Chains A and B, each alone.
Chain A
């Protein structure tokens, strides 16, 4: 006689239910394993292929003409940093300002709801479409591709994340804090800037770092804004190289040496992005207000 764990006689029906349960539980484990396995397959290849192509030349030289071996991606790495910097210059004031409005002044007003909705719409706009927009706004009037246009496109992509992070973190600051400030006779805007924002700073920083991590890896919006550049360039009004752009161009080229450099560049890019998201985790785990 077979007994289940509680001493009752296990019927065939009950045994079947248990087996079905086990099978489906097993399938969920398998799915999670598959998702994690794919991650390791991708990162593993990037690491193995990238390390063999990684050398000092890659990090210090500019690209050689097509087909010539050697050269590097130093200008692209610097270009990516510049583009992300320009993106922050645009998206942080606008995004934090809009977040402050939503959390401190708008709350549940109709205008605030509309802005919130539009920020969500912005999240869903494909990045290549954002690139087209940046082209009409900055490339057409200036008459040439520029780092400025690329930075603007990345900024638009960062913007909704910054808005949302700012609003959510400010809302976590208890109203008693605001009331305490106001009761001391401090004006409202100073309460917001000097008391509420600093309290939420770590959380907002987390959101910003996550947005930076995403923007740094974007390629599509840079194709016809920053455009790419085989030479050093620190002038924001000129076309600029960017790491993801360089990886793309090298990957679809017919040259083996460029393929090798594309893998090495991918390794550098993945490290940059993972560093930013790791920093986001570290910053987010401490601080006055956090989730």
Chain B
């Protein structure tokens, strides 16, 4: 080059190199996200190793949890996690779906936005606040009114027998139901809205009522997305920690009754990890965490796939 020295910028990289460095940097940060996700799984598996090696598959099938004698089996916690999450879906699912249908189909414009916003606020309330409310408001209320009533009507079933403690599996399921409603409602609302209006118009043109339109033309079209929304809620319920820890009763047993106190996988980690002293106890808690990770992973992946396909349609999703 024959440019005068003043016009040349000394010791500068070419713009192509600069671009490459920039691209490399952001690609590296992207890989960081990937590495983090993989790292979580690997590090948990590594720390869980000693306990899993010691107890084998029986770790997930036995009902003993004795930190003093260092004997660990996590079945009661798995039972508690699954049953509270199932209760959350049974109690919260219909409410969430109803809310979603209302917001997407029936609500007039001036109601839709404020109610949508309020439902989203429900998701913003921290889980420890739900726990506080559950412990001091919901549990006493259930003990004095709802549980005796259920016991009277359905007491012939073992599930509804036994003393009313207030705290227990049932209360845990109910607080989880409240916590997963906003997730399920917001996602279902979006997938219902994504159903093309042609569907509705065709049904209305046949003389269907508005409810029949929703029931026979809209909901079937949105079905897989709604299943995805429910799975997202399930994923959240399985991993939810604080609120459940505060109302589940924290007893490592499988109660015959829904009113009995139980434990969940997340709760046992929350309660015992900071105070665990022996290596085997720590490793057992890591194994519980690893189990929880493995349990929630497929649920969340399936949810994502289902919701993506509906909400973004075949054009954007594939």
Contacts and interface: CB of A to CB of B under 8 A. Distances in A.
Interface in A12-43: 17-18, 20-22, 24-25, 27-32, 34-36, 38-39, 41-43
B40 A129 contact: yes
A104 interface: yes
Interface string A135-148: 11100000000000
B266 interface: yes
Contacts of A95: 33
B202 interface: no
Given A36-B118, A118-B38, A273 B124 contact: yes
B250 to A, nearest CB: 10
Given A98-B29, A115-B31, A189-B18, A128 B241 contact: yes
Contacts of B274: 223-224, 227
A173 interface: no
B105 to A, nearest CB: 8
B296 A262 contact: no
A133 B132 contact: no
Interface residues of A, number: 90
Interface string B10-32: 00000100110111011111111
A219 B241 contact: yes
Of the four ranges (under 10, 10 to 19, 20 to 34, 35 or more), the interface on chain B belongs to 35 or more
A102 interface: yes
A24 B208 CA distance: 14
B47 A219 contact: no
A56 interface: no
B252 interface: no
A247 to B, nearest CB: 5
Chain B at the A interface: SS class: helix
Contacts of A180: none
A129 B30 contact: no
A125 interface: yes
B89 to A, nearest CB: 15
A247 B18 CA distance: 49
Contacts of A123: 300
A115 B128 CA distance: 31
A91 B137 CA distance: 36
B18 A187 contact: yes
B30 A101 contact: yes
Interface string B62-89: 0000000000000000000000000000
Contact of A251 (B97, B105, B135): B135
A115 B124 contact: no
A41 B34 CA distance: 41
A20 B214 CA distance: 13
A119 B33 contact: yes
Nearest to A156: B36
A94 interface: yes
B40 A130 contact: yes
Interface stretch (B142-150, B220-228, B285-293): B285-293
Contacts of A38: 122, 178, 181
Contacts of A247: 128-129, 132
Nearest to B111: A32
Given A32-B107, A42-B133, A262-B132, A120 B300 contact: yes
Contact of A124 (B28, B127, B300): B300
Nearest to A132: B289
Interface string B97-109: 1110111011100
- Of the candidates B107, B266, B270, the one having the most CB atoms from chain A within 10 angstroms of its own CB is B270
A282 interface: no
Interface string B141-165: 0000000000000000000000000
B191 to A, nearest CB: 16
